[in-house]
Amino acid sequence: MSFRRSEGQGSRLKSSGFSRLKLIYEDEDIIVVDKPAGLLTMATEKERRKTAYAFLYAYVKNKRPAEKIFIVHRLDREASGLLVFAKTQSAKRRLQDQFKDHSATRMYVAVVEGRVPQDLCRIESYLAENAAHRAYSSKDRTKAKLAVTHIRVLRRFRQTTLIEARLESGRKHQIRAHLSERGHPIVGDRDYGSQINRLHRLALHAVNLNFKHPETGKLLQFESPYPDSFRFS
């Protein structure tokens, strides 16, 4: 199978109705996009139309012949960065298997409150979800799942720290919960205790996404620079 780079690679999906959703890569089996902050990955009870999935569904449906789209993983609404979607059920299954066995890797950059003292640290806990749909560390392993986050400090400011976070597992709100419990909530994350919101958004961006192509097995690597606004003191 030969890869075809989308003619719209690196362009905005203007035809989708949401001009800030950026198309990074496309072939017969997958689509990689750069999601803006404020856009849901998939529908909720309150919002069904303004989602990355909905816009991509409209985009592939209008192709000739029409194609399908499947959700592989998610990114929080107020976070931004890289997402991969599948065009076939088999591609979806193979990609999700990579996320489950950790052969697919994801890297994030965030701005957190306070000055993180360690240059490198590993955070491990079992995360559960409460009635408000927020993640928290629990010793009850019957309702919690193992979550491991690796943190590297990129730059320290007077009141905040720019950090890099690598997921070894992929639990809901994992980075947000782990950093909050360490006393360093992500800037703009009111749900997890942030008192600073200079950026008027969640200061979390998915900068790197690596996985093997679900059909060819070729390693694919994608990068998305974090916003310039993250570099503040």
User: Beta partners for 71?
Assistant: 85
Q: Are 127 and 144 in contact (CB under 8 A)?
A: yes
For residue 37, the tally of other CB atoms under 10 A from its CB is 21
Q: Could you check whether the bond before residue 36 is cis, i.e. omega within 30 degrees of 0?
A: no
Query: Is 189 marked active-site?
Result: no
Beta 145-156 vs 11-12: how paired, if at all? Answer: unpaired
Question: Which among 27, 34, 76, 191 is annotated as catalytic?
Answer: 76
Residue 83 token pair: 């997402």
The SS3 assignment for 113 reads strand
How far apart CA 80 and CA 160 sit, in angstroms, is 19
* Catalytically active residues, by annotation: 76
